[in-house]
Structure 1
Amino acid sequence: MDKSWMNDPDTLVSLAYAEGVKYFLIQARNHASGRARIRCPCHACLNNLWLPIPEVETHLFIKGINPNYTQWIFHGEEETTLSISDDDIDDDIIQEDDYIDDMQHMLDDIRAGTFVDVPQDSTPVPNRPSIHVDGPAPSFDQLLEDVRRPLFDGCTEFSKLSFVVKLLHIKSIGGWSIKSFDMLLDLLRSAFPNALLPQSYEESRSLERGLGFKYHKIHACPNNCILFWKENAALNECPHLFMYAKIAGDMRWPKEQQTKEDTSMRHPADSECWKKFDEDHGWFASDPRNVRLGLMIGDVQFGKSHRKKKGTAEELNWTKCSIFFVLPYWSTIRLRHNLDVMHIEKNIADNILWTLMNNPGKSKDNINSRRDLELLGCRKELHLRRDLNVEQRYKFCEWLSDIKFPDGFTSNILNCVSRCDCKISGLKSHDCHVFLKKLLPIAAGGYLRSDIGLALTELGTFFKELCARTLDVNCLTQFQTDVVTILCKLEMIFPPSFFDVMVHLTVHLSREARLGGPVQYR
């Protein structure tokens, strides 16, 4: 076809130019094979941008087509090669004209620097240090030569470049080491001595770097604090003196935000033990950067569990004492041990659920408990109906499985509820904490007698107030009395086997909160 219309300056008026654009778009649509975008050959885009076909037509009429784009290689025309006479061709050499590889299309995209269906962005890429390379990346002409050369004579499946790229892809998926990759290349070169294989992994990477597959190394803090990138690229040390910013702020809270007059407790610094320690060791408390909070909330277990002493009863001068008694503050500290509130909550919640659901083998209302009641002289007609019947258990499981919580509030309780056999199992410590605070008061009021429901509701309210983020000293004193009353009510409801050690430890939780501060810090 005559392409002289491409030099016509009257792009909006000339009929020849309009016919030429029409023919060009027909050929471009056929070459696009259903794609909605093609390269725009106008003066401004120069085949560097992929645009919708109607927009390309607008560009061609308004901005004009690039007159130097005489071979439409991106729109269906084949590149013309130099004609070679038959006398220059050796009859023994057979050209593999039917060699097909996707690398040719990929190189066409790399030649223009853009890819189809990728939005074009003119935002400059920041300069970052790249990794060290042992060899230079090959030129584009060398890549074209490698993609057209078969891996070995007679090979129609792989070219030199495509085989290396696929081999590197398998290495990345399989997690091969560089040494194993080099060993594989040595084996392949021994098995196929005539194949065009690279000598090492570095040579393979140099071929791949010519395709634009580069990456940059960014150093990171070992504690996962920051990346040495952008404004931190020139730093040699991590600017953070902490791993978690919230904990670091809590450690400075006594000097920055604490109020002396308030009776509320928001931090361990408001507790009695903290204040007593400040009075006895003022030199340590005067430093706002001390790590007392970090030491207090850390879960460090020294030594092994308590074991019975062996040997004679005589006191020997080489007997080892606990390291705590050597510490200068140990003799005056008021809270030497801390009770795990979440652990206590889980045990109490499990006891309540197993008893209410009459879980075989785990319910506290079993045959041995009834025999204990017989020994205590309790008459049978005075025994309370403390568990749920079959219909109530099924409705309770159905109600529990239908509850929706915000993301991250609890785990998926639906996975812990079995409707077919009316069982609840697999609740974590935090799930039991939510059950006592939120769900138990509702369930007790809907399925149990009023006296039983009232006692369980008071128990859930006690743990809800105890685990609050802000505590009141006066309320904690009242809780100390209320929890005794709650346990007395529970003793009139549940059998003696219900009251194990963990249930009785609830008496000490209010006192420990007064001495040590809010629960979440302990």
Structure 2
Amino acid sequence: MLDKSWMHIQNRLSPEYKEGVSKFLDFAFGMTSGDTIPCPCKKCNNVLFKQRNEVEADLVVNGVVTGYTRWLLHGEEIETIESSDCDSDGESVHDILEAHFGAHNVERWETRDLGASDSEEPNEGATKFFKLLKDGNEQLYPGCSRFSKLSFVIKLFHIKCLSHMTNKGFSMILDLLSKAFPEGNVLPKSYYEAKRIIQDLGLDYKKIDACKNDCMLYWKENSSAKQCNICGLSRWKVCGNGKSKNVPHKILRYFPITPRLQRLFMSTKTASEMTWHYNRIDDGFLSHPSDAKAWKHFDASHQSFAIEPRNVRLGLASDGFNPFGKFSNAYSIWPVVLIPYNLPPWLCMKQEYFMLSLLIPGPCGPGNNIDIYLQPLIDELKELWEVGVETYDAYKKQNFVMHAAILWTINDFPAYGNLSGWVNKGKLACPLCNKDTHSTSLKYGGKLCYLGHRRFLPIKHRWRFENKLFDRTRENRLAPKQLSGDDVLAQLHGIQFPSFGKTIKNRKFNNFTCIDGWKKKSIFFTLPYWRTLLLRHNLDVMHIEKNVCDNILGTLMNIEGKTKDTIKTRLDLKEMHIREELHPRQEGDKIIIPAACYTMTPNEKKIFCEFLAELFQLRVIFCDKLYYH
């Protein structure tokens, strides 16, 4: 009889427990010819196969799964199973395993016990994709080297979409081409045959009608509604004769992300790169998001997710742009893009790995109502977190259940406010300082000035006591507390926000007022893990670098219209009784503005511009050499 008393020891650091783990591992690996076994810890639950040192670490950290007293998955009673496939009570061992661990996992275990290799057959979705790859290598006709069957059909579909060709016309062209091409061509004969070839790509999108005032989506239970439940506006446009046709006011384009995440594992090269972030050497540099505290905090908070390195971590970015800028039309369309961070830094920010998930229509930006349009994406993300999707790993030749999670969003400052729900204008504009934001209204500039930044310095820093250099006060306050997700939910608890939409009733609220600094409860908090994130929203580097650089250079070079050193600024300095050497002076009928020490002279401007031109030229030469190398 095997000694299993160690499994009930509470102190997993005791010598008795460690000795029991060692004996269990000796037994389990002695019953298998491979180098991995199902890990029986509480996190893995005999689902993940691991090596000896990994199983030993998991059993010490997590403990043994409750109720696993018969080691059927590790070789115990193996003779009885082989002879009669039933236990001493007459109950089938197969039924016991299936009841506890599921039929799919039992099938995998039994396959391994029979001595099969670790490789598995692709699932149904992967099989369809590999069939597409076969079509991609199939010649259009014997001797054709320029087009494959798949590439030619896709190009024809592209022409059909751009020219608004009918399905009947497309079928007629296909029939003509198939007769004109040499014998043995594999061109489809009709539109429906061609569509059947490319439909397995899984890269289609869904059209979801939306209210003109951004109040709701005609989706799920409201998919058949004829008018908005909030503002009562008709779903359809009205023609000039007063008759309504079934043409919606707005259409949201939604691109499901699950098939594209699965496609990342269809290529052996990309699939191997999807675990690049795992077991990296910590060199002390922040060269990838996996080096950040937010990533490590997420892994520590959700160990069941982090234990599978193939689970996908995503970043979300969104901003508005005008696709008709060349025609001087005022229009704002908002794409929502996802970035997979599993890949190394030289791949994850490449355009081919950006995933467009939503295309929010205009003509005006959604603003605070962006949550209405995010609903389909959030719904899919919840399913990917809670249930996952079976995916075939072409590199390891295994099927696994892939999960995905968003770690943070990346936006400019206006979009930051739209996604987070915090008002980023007025007296409480800083999302980090929250209700502790320190702001002062400038008398002459007419803007709010956000002071109090010395609070973030060390408590004994000398600048905290320099009153003349700043606002004539000493700074004794501590830095504001960084709010966790639970702190934010506590602030939002009990607040009743108005419904979404750009109706006249809600317009004033959406644009000018807030409740305790909040405009809404962000839809991201419906994700089960969102409140546990250390960093939920980020500001993108591009806007910060450009705006700060423009302001600094404009001020140093005293560029008209760009400098921040204006007469109003000098008058505000005088009003605050600081920087007396910069105060404007009245001399007769003229107002003299003293030159600041940081303002460049004409000669200094010339030298600075020549330096920038030389630096740019060196950069061009370096990039050319790098390209040819």
Q: Using structure 2 for the length normalisation, give the TM-score.
A: 0.25
Q: Which has the larger radius of gyration?
A: 1
Which structure is richer in relative contact order (CA contacts within 8 A, separation 6 or more)? Answer: 1
Return the structure number with greater strand share: 2
